[in-house]
């Protein structure tokens, strides 16, 4: 990435030690954060399948949550992130569990690995923040031999309201993270351009996660989302969306 791109918020925000220390509590704290974390673990297990002994790369590992989930299942995990501060937390967590994970500084836009070096490549909450998401997705596909797992906020969900507001605030000079949203067609087309096809899709919530966290009731979340799912709304408005894409050919 260029020096100009290095000034992008996706690098500067997460290089802050205070952000690294509070990251897990902000994202996965409380009853709803715990539910989100549990769902993430379930989706990864279902999408990736048996991974004992398989080489797996976690791109944008942050504090190492996905990397640890994969390592617990026996995968040979390599995990990269551009933030040394986030990696320091990840290494501490892995050491506490006795997990053998190779953590290193790495940029999703230019991964320092050979083509098809990993059986599976996982990258969560990266495309929405990456300075160049298409270049990042192409790199994920380049180093994956078989599967790529990514997630994104849907343009058909309430996330588009928050994303638009954050872009406006950021444009006005206010410090925020102006993430992008995607349509399923945009993601599928980008994967197709890299020789992959979307195989499976998981959508998490109809109502905004921020609303669920504000209410703070696991029961409310489970009941309301079950009703909305039965009404058929999850397939249309569900977000965030996690997808697994597979290489179209093994040749």
State the Cα–Cα distance between residues 162 and 238, nearest whole angstrom. 15
What is the spatial distance between Cα 129 and Cα 166, in angstroms, rounded to a whole number?
12
Nearest to 32 by CA among 224, 225, 209: 209
Residues in the chain: 251
User: Which range, of 5-19, 120-134, 191-205, averages the lowest pLDDT?
Assistant: 5-19
Burial of 67 (0-12, 13-18, 19+ CB in 10 A): buried
C-alpha 249/C-alpha 244 separation (Å) is 15
Read off the tokens for 218. Answer: 């696991």
Q: Is the pLDDT of residue 206 over 90?
A: yes
Global pTM reads: 0.91
**60-77 average pLDDT score:** 94
Tell me the two tokens of residue 174.
């206010």
Confidence of residue 63 (pLDDT cuts 50, 70, 90): very high
In the chain, where the domains are located: 3-247
**b vs e for 170-194, b when ≥16 Cβ sit within 10 Å of the residue's Cβ?**
eeeeeeeebbbbbebeebbebbeeb
Cβ-based neighbours of 21, under 8 Å, separated by 6 or more: 89
Model pLDDT for residues 151-187, shown as the tens digit of each residue: 999 999 988 988 888 778 777 777 777 789 999 999 9
Q: Would you say domain 3-247 falls under CATH 3.40.50.150?
A: yes
CA–CA separation, 57 and 77 (whole Å): 6
What is the chain's percent helix, strand, coil content, to nearest 5? Answer: 50, 20, 30
Closest to 215 (Cα-Cα) out of 22, 17, 5, 32: 32
């Amino acid at each position: 990435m260029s020096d100009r791109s290095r000034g992008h918020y996706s690098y500067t925000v997460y290089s802050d030690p205070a952000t690294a220390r509070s990251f897990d509590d902000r994202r996965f704290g409380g009853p709803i954060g715990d539910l989100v974390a549990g769902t993430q673990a379930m989706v990864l297990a279902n999408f990736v399948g048996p991974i004992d002994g398989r080489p797996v790369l976690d791109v944008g590992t942050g504090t190492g949550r996905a990397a640890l989930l994969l390592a617990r299942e026996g995968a040979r995990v390599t995990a990269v992130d551009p933030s040394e501060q986030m990696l320091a937390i990840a290494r501490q967590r892995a050491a506490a569990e006795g997990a053998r994970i190779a953590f290193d500084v790495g940029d999703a836009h230019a991964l320092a690995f050979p083509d098809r070096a990993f059986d599976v490549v996982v990258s969560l909450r990266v495309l929405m923040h990456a300075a160049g998401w298409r270049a990042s997705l192409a790199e994920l596909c380049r180093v994956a031999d078989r599967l790529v797992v990514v997630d994104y906020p849907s343009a058909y969900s309430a996330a588009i309201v928050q994303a638009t507001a954050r872009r406006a605030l950021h444009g006005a000079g206010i410090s925020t993270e102006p993430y992008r949203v995607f349509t399923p067609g945009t993601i599928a087309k980008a994967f197709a351009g890299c020789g992959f096809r979307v195989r499976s899709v998981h959508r998490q919530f109809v109502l905004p996660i921020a609303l669920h966290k504000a209410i703070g009731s696991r029961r409310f979340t489970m009941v309301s989302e079950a009703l909305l799912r039965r009404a058929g709304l999850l397939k249309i408005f569900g977000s965030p969306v996690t997808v697994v894409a597979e290489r179209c050919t093994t040749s």
